C-alpha cells in the first residue's frame, strides 16, 4: 500500500482554505497512487489553538467539516486522516479520524494532553486503542504527545496494530522526538509508524516538520525536511512479520515483572 503524508504549512485562512487545499492535495495523492493520505494534528482549524479558530472548527463527530472531508475522500478515492476539535456534549476533544472513500473507519480522542493550554481546551479521551482494517493492515491512531508514551504504542502492538498513524504538531526544539523517539517506537514494537507534522512559523509557534514514515525495523522509509511537502512511502505487511520474527520483543515480554509490587 502507498501512503501519502501532507506536511502542510500552518497558515491563516481558516477551515475553508484548509478544505480547498485538502481537495487539491488529495487529488495529488491519488495521482501518486496513494491509498491513504495523512494530515497533521488538528488539521481542520490548525494552529495556534486560538478561541476563534476553535470556535470555527469545533463540531460533533458528524459535522459539516467532516462531511466535506468524506466527500473529498469519496471523490479522490483516497482514505484521509484528519483532525478537528470534536464537540461532545459539554466538552471538546482533540480528535482524529480515518475516513475511507466509503465512509469513516475509526476515530480517536487524544489521551495524553500536552501542557496547561491543551488541558484547558480539551478533555482527554479514554480509549487507549482504536483500530480498523484497511489495505491489508490493522490501522491504529494516536495523536502527537501520545506516541511519546511507550505504553501507548506497546498497547497497540499487543492488540495487533501493524500500521500506527500519528498526526502531530511537533514544535522546535523537540525535533529529537521525530528523529529518535518515533523510529525507536516503530522498532521496539515491530510496526509501521506514520508521523505527519505541520511546518512553518505562525504567531510565535515554530513547527519543525520532519514528517516521516518508519518501518517495523526502525528504518526511515521516507522523511520530509522543514517545509511544506507531500511525502510518499510504500509499505508491505510482510515486513511486519519479518521484523517481529527477527526482533522478538513482543514474544519475550514478561509482564509479571512489570506489575507494581503489592
Active site residue 144: yes
Domain count, the chain: 1
The CATH number for 202's domain is 3.60.110.10
Sign of the Cα torsion 28, 35, 94, 162 reads: negative
Is residue 259 assigned to a domain? no
Q: Rounded to two decimals, what is the model's pTM?
A: 0.96
Give the pLDDT confidence score for residue 260 in this predicted structure: 82
Please, what is the Cα angle at 103 between 49 and 35, to 5 degrees?
85
Range of the domain at 76: 2-251
Is residue 260 assigned to a domain? no
Share above pLDDT 90 across residues of the chain, in percent, rounded to a whole number:
90
**Which pLDDT tens digit goes with each residue over 185-225?**
999 999 999 999 999 998 888 999 999 999 999 999 999 99
Is residue 123 assigned to a domain? yes
Q: Residue 261's pLDDT band (boundaries 50, 70, 90)?
A: confident
**Which pLDDT tens digit goes with each residue over 29-75?**
999 999 999 999 999 988 888 888 888 999 999 999 999 999 999 99
Is residue 186 assigned to a domain? yes
Catalytic residue, from 59, 110, 148, 228: name it.
Answer: 110
Is residue 49 assigned to a domain? yes
Catalytic residue, from 5, 10, 144, 208: name it.
Answer: 144
Backbone angles phi, psi at 195, to 5 degrees: -120, 110
Active site residue 20: no
Active site residue 41: yes
Catalytic residue, from 5, 10, 41, 228: name it.
Answer: 41
The C-alpha cell at 47 is 494552529
E strand segments, the chain: 2-7, 36-38, 79-88, 91-100, 103-109, 131-134, 137-141, 163-167, 192-196, 199-202, 205-208, 212-214, 220-223, 229-234
Is residue 258 assigned to a domain? no
Residue ranges of alpha helices (H) inside the chain are 14-31, 51-57, 64-76, 115-121, 150-158, 175-176, 182-189, 237-246, 249-252
Is residue 133 assigned to a domain? yes
Query: How far is the CA of 242 from the CAs of 77, 217, 251, in angstroms?
Result: 30, 9, 14
Is residue 25 assigned to a domain? yes
Position 262 pLDDT exceeds 80:
no
**Which pLDDT tens digit goes with each residue over 149-189?**
999 999 999 999 999 999 999 999 999 999 999 999 999 99
Give the pLDDT confidence score for residue 13 in this predicted structure: 74
Amino acid at each position: 500500500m502507498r501512503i501519502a503524508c501532507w506536511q502542510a504549512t500552518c497558515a491563516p485562512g481558516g477551515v475553508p482554505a484548509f478544505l480547498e487545499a485538502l481537495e487539491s492535495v488529495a487529488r495529488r495523492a491519488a495521482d501518486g497512487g496513494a491509498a491513504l493520505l495523512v494530515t497533521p494534528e488538528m488539521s481542520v482549524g490548525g494552529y495556534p489553538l486560538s478561541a476563534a479558530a476553535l470556535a470555527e472548527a469545533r463540531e460533533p463527530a458528524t459535522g459539516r467539516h467532516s462531511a466535506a472531508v468524506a466527500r473529498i475522500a469519496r471523490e479522490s478515492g483516497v482514505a484521509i486522516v484528519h483532525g478537528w476539535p470534536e464537540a461532545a456534549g459539554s466538552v471538546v476533544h482533540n480528535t482524529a479520524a480515518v475516513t475511507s472513500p466509503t465512509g469513516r473507519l475509526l476515530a480517536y480522542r487524544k489521551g495524553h494532553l500536552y501542557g496547561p493550554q491543551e488541558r484547558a481546551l480539551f478533555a482527554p479521551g479514554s480509549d487507549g486503542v482504536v483500530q480498523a482494517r484497511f489495505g491489508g493492515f490493522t490501522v491504529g491512531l494516536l495523536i502527537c504527545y501520545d506516541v511519546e508514551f511507550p505504553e501507548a504504542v506497546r498497547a497497540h502492538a499487543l492488540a495487533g496494530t501493524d500500521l500506527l498513524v500519528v498526526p502531530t504538531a511537533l514544535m522546535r526544539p523537540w525535533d529529537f522526538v521525530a528523529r529518535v523517539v518515533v523510529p525507536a517506537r516503530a522498532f521496539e514494537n515491530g510496526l509501521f509508524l506514520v508521523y505527519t507534522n505541520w511546518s512553518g512559523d505562525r504567531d510565535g509557534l515554530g513547527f519543525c516538520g520532519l514528517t516521516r514514515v518508519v518501518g517495523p525495523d526502525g528504518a526511515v522509509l521516507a522523511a520530509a525536511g522543514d517545509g511544506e511537502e507531500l511525502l510518499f512511502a510504500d509499505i508491505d505487511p510482510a515486513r511486519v512479520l519479518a521484523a517481529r520474527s527477527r526482533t522478538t520483543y513482543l514474544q519475550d515480554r514478561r509482564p509479571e515483572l512489570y506489575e507494581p509490587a503489592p
